[in-house]
């Protein structure tokens, strides 16, 4: 075992006052690298290891199935170790200067499949009268427009243009955009607004979505209502309004919509934000291939 590692661990314990558990973590990571050097090239030591060797170690860990967070933690331990050796004059240059760790993969967004949405909108009882019409319409609007929860809560009746078939939405930083809607959503909105006019004649500031008392619905209330209804058709862990936004984007791309068009509908500043949904659609294609192609199942 290297005396250099022992000296570094003593420095962490005595001068930096690191906890025993933290020091133990550093030791495990550094001993792993030391073992890698020993089994790959007997002529390379901790003092002579270069960036290529560190990169090869990184690749070995990734190919072994280690998570990006674990690999980056070990590389961080190496960086601290080689900074220590630099200060002590043991080495003239750290091999870590040009080494970058693997990027952490962004988790794929949760979304509902088309059959789940059909079951939710066509086979779920949202209740009767004004409140039932409202709750179903909110879910339908998230799915058919992809708008954010705050955007839906802020809608006024005057934002809906039935003649042109579009809704004016005020998004982040008060940036406005127009979202088109189809015949089904139009009919649902008209039915709800007629029911609302009968049962809730006075509403707050012309708000589109209101409670029984005429006050505008809140973001918290919308979250709870959507969460309860999504639970009726799916077992995914996240059951928020944002899941319906993800579902909208995924459905659009799965049906050949252009990425730039989906970006505009969602109100994203950059197309790179929208690209996460292309990963989702590729996963759909991959699953379809694995399930359908006769050679893929062997």
Confidence check: pLDDT of 136 > 90: yes
Confidence check: pLDDT of 276 > 80: no
Confidence of residue 27 (pLDDT cuts 50, 70, 90): very high
Q: What is the pLDDT of residues 50-82, one digit of tens each?
A: 998 999 999 889 888 888 889 999 999 999 999
Confidence of residue 32 (pLDDT cuts 50, 70, 90): very high
Residue 1: what pLDDT? 53
Q: Is 165 exposed, middle or buried (0-12, 13-18, 19+ CB in 10 A)?
A: middle
Q: What is the pLDDT of residues 232-261, one digit of tens each?
A: 998 888 899 999 998 998 888 888 788 888
Its pTM stands at 0.63
31 is catalytic: no
pLDDT: which is higher, 130 or 283:
130
Residues 114-292, CATH architecture = Orthogonal Bundle (1.10)
Catalytic residue among 100, 104, 164, 172: 172
Report d(CA 67, CA 14) in Å as an integer.
Answer: 31
246 is catalytic: no
Q: What is the pLDDT of residues 204-230, one digit of tens each?
A: 888 999 999 999 999 999 999 999 999
Report d(CA 248, CA 15) in Å as an integer.
Answer: 55
268 is catalytic: yes
Catalytic residue among 74, 149, 239, 245: 245
Q: What is the fold, at CATH topology level, of the domain defined by 3-87?
A: DNA polymerase; domain 1 (1.10.150)
172 is catalytic: yes
Q: Indicate the domain borders of the chain.
A: 3-87, 114-292
Confidence check: pLDDT of 93 > 50: yes
192 is catalytic: no
The region of weakest confidence among 170-184, 196-210, 275-289 is 275-289
The region of weakest confidence among 73-77, 153-157, 187-191, 262-266 is 262-266
Catalytic residue among 74, 148, 196, 246: 148
148 is catalytic: yes
Catalytic residue among 55, 79, 211, 242: 242
């Amino acid at each position: 075992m290297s005396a250099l590692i022992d000296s570094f661990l003593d420095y962490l314990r005595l001068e930096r006052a690191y906890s025993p558990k933290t020091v133990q973590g550093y030791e495990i990571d550094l001993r792993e690298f030391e073992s890698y050097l020993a089994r790959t090239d007997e002529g390379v030591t901790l003092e002579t290891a270069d960036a290529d060797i560190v990169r090869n170690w990184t690749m070995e860990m990734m190919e072994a199935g280690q998570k990006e967070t674990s690999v980056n933690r070990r590389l961080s331990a190496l960086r601290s170790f080689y900074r220590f050796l630099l200060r002590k004059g043991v080495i003239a240059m750290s091999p870590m200067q040009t080494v970058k760790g693997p990027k952490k993969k962004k988790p794929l967004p949760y979304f509902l499949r088309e059959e789940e949405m059909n079951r939710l909108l066509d086979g779920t009882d949202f209740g009767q009268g004004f409140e039932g019409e409202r709750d179903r319409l909110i879910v339908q609007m998230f799915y058919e427009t992809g708008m954010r929860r705050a955007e839906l809560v802020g809608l006024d009746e005057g934002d809906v243009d039935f003649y042109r078939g579009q809704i004016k939405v005020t998004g982040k930083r008060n940036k406005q955009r127009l979202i088109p809607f189809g015949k089904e959503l139009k009919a649902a909105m008209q039915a709800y607004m007629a029911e609302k006019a009968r049962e809730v004649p006075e509403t707050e500031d012309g708000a589109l979505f209101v409670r029984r008392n005429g006050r505008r619905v809140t973001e918290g209330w919308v979250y709870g209502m959507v969460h309860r209804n999504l639970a009726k058709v799916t077992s995914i862990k996240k059951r928020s309004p944002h899941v319906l936004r993800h579902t909208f984007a995924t459905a659009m791309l799965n049906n050949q919509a252009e990425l730039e068009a989906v970006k505009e509908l969602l109100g994203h500043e950059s197309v790179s934000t929208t690209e996460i949904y292309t990963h989702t659609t590729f996963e759909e294609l991959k699953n379809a291939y694995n399930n359908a192609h006769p050679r893929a199942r062997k």
